[in-house]
């Protein structure tokens, strides 16, 4: 389950971004700062939802950037394994997407799970990995030709869309 959190922050916009729209610059800076980060007493911030209030921008002496106080409402590491999809499901190699083979009285309909579509899902598990930097071990120091270890996401959610009402939002909207 996700919650929408309202936060207040002062955002620094560097001078080279003054040519852009203020909202676009602020949204980019906030996503750089908060998206995919775990915030104390909030949890994982997935992305910026909306900027609800902008106050006046200030330029401080010795700093050419503007500083704007904003109110905002706030992840890519959400995994839904194949066994947690609506069933029966198959992977369409040609389209490179998963397909739910939805059965009706008129026959089967293929409902495609296109990339970038909004999805409603149930969280079934979460994983937090400490990604604090550590020093090299003595075994790693002796062999320098090995490949670098794969970086783990600090916070991962495992989801499921195998229940009624879950899956692509477009599947469940009434016309």
Distance, in Å, from the CA atom of 12 to the CA atom of 158, rounded to the nearest integer, reads 34
Average pLDDT over residues 113-130: 78
- Vertex 74: Cα angle to 83 and 158 (nearest 5): 15
Task: Convert the pLDDT of each residue in 143-154 to its tens digit.
Answer: 555 555 566 666
Strands in 66-73's sheet, in edge-to-edge order, are: 6-13, 66-73, 50-59
pLDDT score, position 63: 78
Distance, in Å, from the CA atom of 18 to the CA atom of 170, rounded to the nearest integer, reads 38
Contact of 113 with 167, CB cutoff 8 Å:
yes
Could you tell me the pLDDT band of residue 1, with boundaries at 50, 70 and 90?
A: very low
The count of residues in the chain is 175
Contact of 87 with 61, CB cutoff 8 Å:
no
Q: Indicate the DSSP class of residue 77.
A: -
pLDDT score, position 169: 79
Task: Convert the pLDDT of each residue in 53-80 to its tens digit.
Answer: 888 877 778 777 777 777 755 456 677 8
């Amino acid at each position: 389950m996700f919650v929408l959190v309202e936060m207040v922050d002062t955002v620094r916009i560097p001078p080279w971004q003054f040519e852009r729209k203020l909202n676009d610059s602020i949204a980019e800076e906030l996503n750089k700062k908060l998206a995919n980060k775990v915030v104390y007493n909030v949890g994982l911030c997935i992305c910026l939802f909306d900027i609800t209030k902008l106050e006046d921008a200030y330029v401080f002496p010795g700093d050419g950037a503007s500083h704007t106080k904003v109110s905002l409402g706030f992840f890519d590491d959400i995994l839904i394994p194949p066994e947690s999809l609506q069933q029966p499901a198959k992977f369409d190699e040609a389209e490179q997407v998963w397909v739910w083979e939805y059965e009706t009285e008129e026959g089967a309909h293929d409902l495609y799970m296109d990339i970038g579509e909004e999805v409603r899902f149930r969280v079934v598990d979460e994983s937090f990995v400490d990604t604090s930097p550590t020093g090299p071990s003595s075994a790693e120091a002796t062999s320098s030709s090995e490949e670098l270890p794969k970086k783990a996401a600090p916070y991962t959610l495992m989801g499921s869309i195998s229940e009624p009402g879950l899956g692509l939002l477009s599947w469940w909207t009434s016309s």
